[in-house]
Every structure is written in structure tokens, then in C-alpha cells.
């Protein structure tokens, strides 16, 4: 009875690695074929989701908020947004609304790739049953 173990990684460049030699060629061609079929909007959606999820973006945004708060609390500077930081809260609320929508749109675009991977897994399982 043959068991096929395939691991998919969607993080960087859609690398697909397979541990069963009989399905290796099909598995390694699945991601490039999917990547070639993506429209401009799909590619923008994927790159946006990858950019928003990076640690560097979160660190830079945290530093921005710390600098904003420091500049508005230190007495040597003109305070354009005093202590409760209402303007900063407004910007954060708008960012959360937009970023939430962007991430939902990006995640909905992965359903086609998930369906292709599920179909490949099903075909692999059917092929393994036929061989045994």
C-alpha cells in the first residue's frame, strides 16, 4: 500500500516538495502552473497579503506609533495630537478597516489553490488504492 506525503508551502514562491517519487513530477508542476494562471489582481492580492504579514511591517508600524506618542508628549515639540491621541486613533481605525478588508480579499483568493491541492490529494489517494 503506497502512501504519498506531500507538503505544500505557500509562504514565498509556491515551492511544492513531494516525498513520493511517482508523484514528484506532478507535485512540482502544480504550483508553477497555478502561478502562471494568476491574473494581475490575483498576483497583487497575494503580494499584499504577504507584505501585510511580515514582521518588519509590524515592527516599523510599532516604531511609528511610539515616535508619534513621544513627539506629542515631549514638551520641546509642538503637540499636534495631544494626549488621548485622537488623530492617531482615527488613523488606526481607518487602517484596521482597510487592512481587514485587504486580508479577507487576499485569503479568499487562496481557495482556488486549495481546491487544486485537494484535487491532487484525492487523485493521489485514488491512485494509491488502485495500486494496492
pLDDT tens digit string along 4-22? Answer: 434 444 433 444 443 444 4
- Least confident residue range of 13-22, 47-56, 118-127: 13-22
At residue 106 the predicted structure's pLDDT band, cuts being 50, 70 and 90, is confident
Separation CA 60–CA 46 (nearest Å): 21
- The four Cα atoms 105, 110, 115, 117 give a dihedral, to 10 degrees, of -170
With a CB cutoff of 8 Å and minimum separation 6, the contacts of 65 are 88, 92
Query: Domain limits of the chain?
Result: 6-131
Separation CA 130–CA 115 (nearest Å): 23
Amino acid at each position: 500500500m503506497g502512501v504519498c506525503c506531500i507538503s505544500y508551502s505557500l509562504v514565498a514562491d509556491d515551492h511544492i516538495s513531494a516525498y513520493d517519487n511517482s508523484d514528484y513530477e506532478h507535485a512540482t508542476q502544480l504550483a508553477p502552473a497555478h502561478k502562471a494562471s494568476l491574473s494581475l489582481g490575483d498576483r497583487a492580492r497575494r503580494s499584499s497579503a504577504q507584505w501585510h504579514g511580515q514582521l518588519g511591517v509590524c515592527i516599523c508600524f510599532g516604531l511609528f506609533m511610539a515616535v508619534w506618542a513621544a513627539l506629542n508628549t515631549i514638551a520641546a515639540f509642538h503637540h499636534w495630537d495631544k494626549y488621548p491621541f485622537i488623530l492617531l486613533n482615527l488613523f488606526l481605525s481607518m487602517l484596521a478597516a482597510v487592512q481587514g478588508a485587504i486580508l479577507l480579499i487576499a485569503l479568499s483568493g487562496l481557495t482556488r489553490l486549495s481546491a487544486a491541492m485537494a484535487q491532487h490529494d484525492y487523485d493521489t489517494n485514488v491512485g494509491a488504492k488502485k495500486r494496492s
